[in-house]
Amino acid sequence: MRALIQRVREASVTVEGQRIAQIGPGILALVCAMRGDTRANADAMAAKLAKLRIFPDPAGKMNLDLRQTGGAALVVSQFTLAGDTSRGNRPGFSSAAPPQDGAALCDAVAAGLNGMGISVQTGQFGADMDVALINEGPVTLWIET
């Protein structure tokens, strides 16, 4: 699995003019299931996201995780993270998991975070989503499991 993580002050997802998800401080996780990924990959991604120490402690050092700060997670499926541009200018997405598998694995990441006591909102798999965020820091990380 791949994920692009952004520490946010707030983030939301809107589909067809309706806001379907919104969080305050926490992380926006754009998540891509890759061909061959399993539930174990999704569980590992959820654990990694929950334990990332990217929030400031009282001294201002990035030393706290989501649970320690009471932050939330907005998990949004993002198959374009599988984009391969090595053969020209039009990305290929053949390394992304098939849609049915991708949806299940993205849901598993969200469920894993929720199971660790983190408040989770999600985007809508396969929808044309408008994602809004205020990136705090900015802190942006690329993660693969």
Catalytic residue chosen out of the listed positions 6, 14, 38, 78: 78
Residue 69, both tokens: 């700060």
- Short-list 77, 80, 129, 131, CA closest to 103: 77
For 113, residues 6+ apart whose C-beta sits below 8 A from its C-beta are 46, 49, 50, 66, 73, 75, 120
Q: Which residue has the tokens 């983190």?
A: 118
Residues facing 27 on adjacent strands? 7, 73
Amino acid at the residue 85: T
Known active-site residue 122: no
Known active-site residue 79: yes
Catalytic residue chosen out of the listed positions 6, 55, 79, 122: 79
Distance CA 140, CA 3 (A): 10
Q: Are 96 and 82 in contact (CB under 8 A)?
A: yes
Known active-site residue 78: yes
Annotated active-site positions, please?
Answer: 78-80
